[in-house]
Amino acid sequence: MRLAYYPGCTLKTNAKSFEISAIASAKVLGVELVELTRWNCCGTVHALAKDDVMHYIAPIRNLIRVEEMRDEGIVDENILVTLCEMCFNTLKRANTEVLKDGEKMRKVRENMEERDPAYRGEVEIKHFLEVVKDIGWNNISNLVIKKLKGLRIIPYYGCLLLRPRGLGIDDPDNPTILESLIKSLGGESVEIPFKSKCCGSYHTVHMEQVASELSHRILSQAAEAEADLIMLTCPLCSYNLGDRQEEIKKSFKGLRTIPVVYFTQLMALAFNLPAESTGFSENKPDPTVILKNKDLL
Amino acid sequence: MAFKDARRTINYGFQNESFKFKVSELSGEDINLCFQCGGCSSGCPLAEEMDFLPSKIVRMIQLGREEALDSETIWVCSTCFNCEVRCPRGIDVANIMEALRQLKLRKKYSHVSLDSLEKSKIRTLPQIAIISNQRKLSA
């Protein structure tokens, strides 16, 4: 099955390992992620103000590309797959808004570039995790070659995979999708209370100390739970919890190092894909030591 | 991280109906529904950094008090939607925070200027961090 794939900006820079491992794991599942022929920034955050329809134009333009690709037979479904939580939220919310409010759809169509055909409203936005879930946890289990045995993994959801209610991919009060994935890969899912609390998000740009505080709460819970790894789905969470971990440790002495990986990297590892598909060399902190200790690398 | 000034009291005189209307219109939320249970504030991961708790901001809007616009709270909110999933009255407080920010940003107030950020830092940050930060906090 060929599905249209929207990478978004950060998957091409800070989060390359996320993209590489997702495309490789998808192949194992029989899914070919076909990058949009032309794509633009989604805007990263949904325009929450009710009159701010202008900011729907960028996300909706990407959805027009999906309809075109479907018409040309490049992809098999009117589905757009995303990896980044922020892109997922922004694309899905803009789509939901124009589908439920004809006036907003009219405004978006009127203000689109002339060369862009009118958006027909046929596209469904799916996070890659939903594609994985649709394949079925038992089927995923059957594809695993190297069980993640003895690996204690924190499923960290962040915000936008679950919220707002109704837009997220799972129950915001009691999510289980990441736990199910960990289980089907043969790993051990470890619960922490802050698995869907904010990591500090974009405050990391100008309020580093506040971002450190928020990330530290999550990291210290993971350390107390004696976890080996944190598994997540968002490049910004990965930056705040992973790339900034050394910086956080300066403010919070005694915090143990906990590697942070994308869920697709653990899928690639369990499917026994080569190092260039797991992309662990790019993660900060380095997860390879713990994975070697567990005889997984 | 100690509570900054989160127990600041608010002035209860009813002030400005048009302010309350503006916030309702921009946010799409019915401000009157809030009965001050404080659920949004108790779930807010950033409450400790705020000068007024989210529920107090909502109360201020009910009372038409424009000083809500001058609070730190609206810039500290990271739009994580914890309040949205908790509100028993179905109010999306994140939308209300956005409306208040928009009322400031649309008058060319920038809370964070791109020029104030170090170039070396901009190079290491993921783009999604910079763009979302500027979308939320810059005019």
Q: pLDDT tens digit string along A109-138? A: 999 988 899 999 999 999 999 999 999 999
Q: For B112-118, which contacts have Cβ atoms below 8 Å and span 24 or more sequence positions?
A: B112/A205, B112/A206, B112/B137, B112/B138, B113/B138, B114/B138, B116/A206, B117/A205, B117/A206
CA distances from A291 to A147, A194, A278, A280, A287 (A): 12, 24, 12, 10, 6
| A250/chain B closest Cα distance in angstroms | 16
| B132/chain A closest Cα distance in angstroms | 6
B1-39 exposure pattern, b = at least 16 Cβ within 10 A, e = fewer: eeebebeeeeeeeeeeeebbebbbebbebebeebeeeeb
Answer yes or no: is pLDDT of B5 > 80.
Answer: no
Report the topology of domain A136-293: Rossmann fold (3.40.50)
Q: Rounded mean pLDDT of A181-208?
A: 97
CATH 1.10.1060 in chain B, residues? Answer: 1-107
Region of poorest pLDDT, from A118-122, A261-265, A287-291, B116-120 = B116-120
Residue to substitute from B128, B132, B134, interface A, most A β-carbons within 10 A: B128
* Cα dihedral value B58, B60, B64, B66, nearest 10: -110
Q: What pLDDT is recorded for position B1?
A: 47
Answer yes or no: is pLDDT of A264 > 90.
Answer: yes
Q: What pLDDT is recorded for position B3?
A: 53
A282 touches chain B (CB under 8 A): no
**Mean pLDDT across chain A:** 97
ipTM of predicted assembly, 2 dp: 0.94
Answer yes or no: is pLDDT of A49 > 80.
Answer: yes
Q: Rounded mean pLDDT of B44-65?
A: 96
Answer yes or no: is pLDDT of B4 > 80.
Answer: no
Query: Cα–Cα distance between B20 and B8 in angstroms, integer?
Result: 21
**Mean pLDDT across chain B:** 93
Number of helices (H), then strands (E), belonging to chain B: the values are 8, 0
Contacts of A49 in chain B (CB under 8 A): 26-27, 98-99, 102
Q: Is residue A83 classed as helix, strand or coil in its secondary structure?
A: coil
| Nearest residue, CB atoms, B80 vs list A41, A49, A159 | A159
Confidence of residue B15 (pLDDT cuts 50, 70, 90): confident
Q: Where are the domains of chain A?
A: 2-129, 136-293
Report the topology of domain B1-107: Fumarate Reductase Iron-sulfur Protein; Chain B, domain 2 (1.10.1060)
Confidence of residue A103 (pLDDT cuts 50, 70, 90): very high
Answer whether CATH 1.20.1050.140 is correct for domain A2-129: yes
Query: Is B126 close to A173, i.e. CB distance below 8 A?
Result: no
